[in-house]
Structure 1
Amino acid sequence: MMRTTRRFVGLALVGTLGLGGCAGHTRATTRDARATEARLAEHSEEQEHPAPEQEQAERESFARRAIEALRASGETRDIHYDAGGFLLQLGGKDGSTVFLSNFFDEYLATAPEQRDEVFARLTRVRAMPALPETLAEARPNLLPVVRGRAFFEQLPLSIAWKPLSGFLGVGLAFDGPDTLRYLGPDELARWGVSFDQALGMAMENLRPRSTEPLEQLAPGTCESPWEDNYAASRLLLEEVVRRCQVKGTPVVLVPHRDLLLITGSEDEDGLHQVATRALQAVMAPRALDGRAMRLTPEGWVPFMPERLNNAWADFRKLELFSRARDYAEQTEHLEKLYREKGVDLFVAAYTPYQDEHGRSLSYAVWLKGVDAILPRTEVIFFMDPALGPEALPVGIARWEEVARAAGQLLAPVEGLYPERYRVKGFPSEEQLARWQNDPGDLLDEDGP
């Protein structure tokens, strides 16, 4: 995961900045388009963000140290570093995979004198637990795994999973002494069991490990006591969630794999408290997702407080941050894929924006003459590079309005999460003339 996804970003209003231009369908077009996005947004972060080249160098340095630690621990197999996936492949096709992102995040968050402990933990996961030949042998070690949907969608391995509430996913793991092993369709087929059958077995295994009482943050607001990598998975156990006596219907957040937060849909103070806790947790290594869910008879559905609720602003931050992180990881994945295929297609960024009053929106930049795929944002800025580097946007509009008036210019890209759209040309002068908006007029205060 890129370090940029660990911070909230505040952006200055468009219209006060100069804009760079780009032209032609060449490799330089993609570079210039990214530069235009950067010029459009003035980033205000808690600390200075390193240049992409510097961050890449830090990641490569970390990978080298990880390989050295593995060798020192006795690893003798071939080790291949996949920079795009930020992982180490140990051995051949049937070897082990060590994903480096979480360890790298922990490394950055750890004091220098304690960083050797990160590499010590990394070496303990080099050997995936061996899978039994039969379901009867495997069954006691099956456990459900809740992760962000983007994790499953972009994982370079075949993993058995299903969506949960739109932005999460549920997978299956074989729980070993030092690490867990995600299960794929091949393992389930070999054991002669369906995904839903195996998930039921996994949930039955999780129940006896979930008997501890919840920790009460306030009356009607609770958090999980478990730190075993499966705290988030307990949202699948309704009886655990209902141990928290809430006002209204249960609302949960799983901002971290070791944190399940529970409150009620009608508890304004509780909602504010869990949102504050979640804002901290999503910035930590091994974070999941900051968006909330509400329990209904049909299962978990996305939840957002009413706009007048004093917790709304924090829930809005969590939503924007989570979407931005998913899109940032997808952008990295797609750019690598297109480079490998020799495709010159610009993967436009999803950019969160917040003004000095806390009002917010998300936007993407649609550049005339650039072949691109756009993220699904709330607002689109239309740019014409031919007008020069100091030109302002030629149009600014909400996504819904663009879809109604020029929907034929946006084609959904099948099979992508989060969703993206391939641009087909550029709006007409007549259409752009309707979209001469001030960015401040489109902030969420006046939006849907």
Structure 2
Amino acid sequence: MREWIRWQFGRPTAADVLKRLVRRLEEIGATGTTVNEDPPEIHFTLNGVQMHSHLTHLVRDLLRAKGGRARDIEFDRYLEGTMLRPIGADVPELSEDYASVRARLVPLLRTRADMAKSALDLANALTQDEAALTRASNQTPFRPLVGDYVAMLGLDTPESTARVAQGMLDKWGVSFDTAFDDALDNLRGLPEDLGWQQIAPGLWQGAWNDSYEPSRLLLPDVIYRSGVAHPVAMVPLRHVLLVADANDIAGLALMAAMCKQLRQEHSRWLSCRPLQLVERAWQPFEAPEPLRPMFQELISVEDSEDYSAQKRLLEQRRPQEASGPFVGAVKLVQFKDSERVMSYSVWPDGVDTLLPLTDLVAFASHDKPDQAVIVAWADAVRIAGHYMQPVDGLHPPRMRVNVFPNGDEQAQLRAVKAV
């Protein structure tokens, strides 16, 4: 009864969500169901197929929903439209020719971190033999845009958009470049609907209402149709595109504030890294000095979340990899004499560690574990970079460190400590 009351009128717990999910799955014949609360995930077998799902986004969305009816709708949408939809259910049979799917191709804007998380998730779900057999066909080809942003292909369906993997292109007998050009043409031909809307003084939002708003970054002429002379764009969510002028301090501040609000209200983010359109090419945008702490905070939080998701996935690797290196965490700190939020990681003495790239590094020695020496990342690389081994295949990147700086190097680190 208490669980029902929380669901209908209060705030359900993660355990409430998992119990409801287990009951529903067992009703439709799922067996071997196991759950984990932190992080929330579920494993089960249905119709002879072993399945698993990470539930962090679902739990967050249900906790934010207002009232039982809204939670029921979100719960059913996720169960039927995401969890129980077989892989490739929205994709036409691969035997279909390219002509039958060409008109449904769309470009999707994503980040390298997003792609890397998907790859890790898939690798965790497969055995080593399965991964070897499916690696090539499941790779998602992409086109770099700028910085962390990439563009890939999606296949539009009434209920969702499926990523186009290399195996699908091979079956269709078409190159990625040809399919991508066709996808751009399809995007350009979508209805304009409301187009650009000025939502506040100096701030515009794309209102095509088709969930492909961020993809318009790939069409510079569409960006200029906003009427903004020096466009700076942000895409905090997969259906939100914001634009302000690079010379408008007030408009840029509004855009950053709106991105921060959206990230607090939603769990499915895209990126808050701002881009500036110079002629017809995007480049990273360096915020003017008064706004730099505000924009930097957004990026620091984004990096921290990406590293947290990566850490969780790396720690879920199979038992034979349990003896691998410790996966370091990213922490955020705001100094009293500055508005800027900075990230830091810990380089522990005597521990084989996958070290994330952060603003600061705390060197924690055996001799003085409570007196870590904190230095800027650049100084850590200059003094102890020869101990850092880049880790292939990870994004955001990590460095493997299994040697602690010697006495002379520790003295150099203390001489440049940041705090």
- Length-normalised TM-score, structure 2: 0.80
Q: Note the alpha carbon deviations across 1:168-220, whole angstroms, 9 max, x for none.
A: 33222222222222221111110011222222222222223251321113455
Aligned to 1:149: 112
Within 2, Cα distance between the matches of 1:77 and 1:172? Answer: 33
**What SS is found at the alignment partner of 1:102?**
helix
Question: 2:344·2:359 contact (CA, 8 Å) conserved in 1?
Answer: yes
Within 2, Cα distance between the matches of 1:186 and 1:222? Answer: 39
Aligned to 1:137: 100
Question: 1:226·1:258 contact (CA, 8 Å) conserved in 2?
Answer: no
Q: Which amino acid aligns with 1:174?
A: L
Question: 1:174·1:180 contact (CA, 8 Å) conserved in 2?
Answer: yes
Question: 2:383·2:413 contact (CA, 8 Å) conserved in 1?
Answer: no
Within 2, Cα distance between the matches of 1:182 and 1:260? Answer: 21
Q: Which amino acid aligns with 2:92?
A: L
Aligned to 2:379: 401
User: Is 1:299 matched up with 2:262?
Assistant: no
**What SS is found at the alignment partner of 1:282?**
helix
User: Is 1:103 matched up with 2:71?
Assistant: no
> Matched residue pairs, number?
377
Within 2, Cα distance between the matches of 1:326 and 1:435? Answer: 28
Within 2, Cα distance between the matches of 1:172 and 1:258? Answer: 16
Structure 1 position 383, deviation (Å)? 0.7
Q: Which amino acid aligns with 2:214?
A: A
Within 2, Cα distance between the matches of 1:95 and 1:140? Answer: 34
Aligned to 1:422: 400
Q: Note the alpha carbon deviations across 1:407-427, whole angstroms, 9 max, x for none.
A: 211111112101110114111
- Length-normalised TM-score, structure 1: 0.75
User: Is 1:411 matched up with 2:392?
Assistant: no
**What SS is found at the alignment partner of 1:333?**
helix
Q: Which amino acid aligns with 1:351?
A: K
Q: Which runs of no fewer than 5 residues in structure 1 stay unpaired?
A: 1-56, 443-448
Aligned to 2:309: 329
Q: Which amino acid aligns with 1:376?
A: L
Question: 2:325·2:352 contact (CA, 8 Å) conserved in 1?
Answer: yes
User: Is 1:65 matched up with 2:43?
Assistant: no
Q: Quickly say closer, same or farther: Cα 1:340–1:217, change in 2 above 3 A.
A: farther
**What SS is found at the alignment partner of 1:361?**
strand
Structure 1 position 312, deviation (Å)? 1.8
Q: Which amino acid aligns with 1:141?
A: R
Q: Note the alpha carbon deviations across 1:21-49, whole angstroms, 9 max, x for none.
A: xxxxxxxxxxxxxxxxxxxxxxxxxxxxx
Q: Quickly say closer, same or farther: Cα 1:420–1:251, change in 2 above 3 A.
A: same
Within 2, Cα distance between the matches of 1:174 and 1:94? Answer: 25
Structure 1 position 342, deviation (Å)? 2.4
**What SS is found at the alignment partner of 2:207?**
coil
User: Is 1:205 matched up with 2:205?
Assistant: no
Question: 2:379·2:413 contact (CA, 8 Å) conserved in 1?
Answer: no
Question: 2:202·2:250 contact (CA, 8 Å) conserved in 1?
Answer: no
Query: After superposition, where does 1:272-291 map in structure 2 within 5 Å?
Result: 272-283=253-264, 284-291=266-273
Q: Quickly say closer, same or farther: Cα 1:409–1:98, change in 2 above 3 A.
A: closer
User: Is 1:314 matched up with 2:294?
Assistant: yes
Within 1, Cα distance between the matches of 2:344 and 2:30? Answer: 46
Between 254-263 and 194-203, report the one with greater CA deviation: 194-203
**Which protein, 1 or 2, shows the higher relative CO under an 8 Å CA cutoff with sep ≥ 6?**
1
Q: Quickly say closer, same or farther: Cα 1:339–1:288, change in 2 above 3 A.
A: farther
Structure 1 position 438, deviation (Å)? 8.8
Structure 1 position 76, deviation (Å)? 6.1
Q: Which amino acid aligns with 1:118?
A: E
**What SS is found at the alignment partner of 1:435?**
helix
**What SS is found at the alignment partner of 2:106?**
strand
**What SS is found at the alignment partner of 2:345?**
strand
Q: Quickly say closer, same or farther: Cα 1:234–1:87, change in 2 above 3 A.
A: farther
Q: Note the alpha carbon deviations across 1:311-348, whole angstroms, 9 max, x for none.
A: 22210111111111111111111111275512241111
Within 2, Cα distance between the matches of 1:415 and 1:298? Answer: 31
Question: 2:30·2:44 contact (CA, 8 Å) conserved in 1?
Answer: no
Q: Note the alpha carbon deviations across 1:213-245, whole angstroms, 9 max, x for none.
A: 211134553112144332222222222211222
Structure 1 position 98, deviation (Å)? 6.3
Structure 1 position 63, deviation (Å)? 4.6
Within 1, Cα distance between the matches of 2:280 and 2:42? Answer: 38
Aligned to 1:263: 244
Q: Quickly say closer, same or farther: Cα 1:416–1:285, change in 2 above 3 A.
A: same
**What SS is found at the alignment partner of 2:158?**
coil
Structure 1 position 275, deviation (Å)? 0.4
Q: Quickly say closer, same or farther: Cα 1:172–1:87, change in 2 above 3 A.
A: farther
Aligned to 1:177: 158
Between 329-338 and 373-382, report the one with greater CA deviation: 329-338
Q: Which runs of no fewer than 5 residues in structure 2 stay unpaired?
A: 1-11, 123-137
Within 2, Cα distance between the matches of 1:387 and 1:68? Answer: 51
Aligned to 1:167: 148
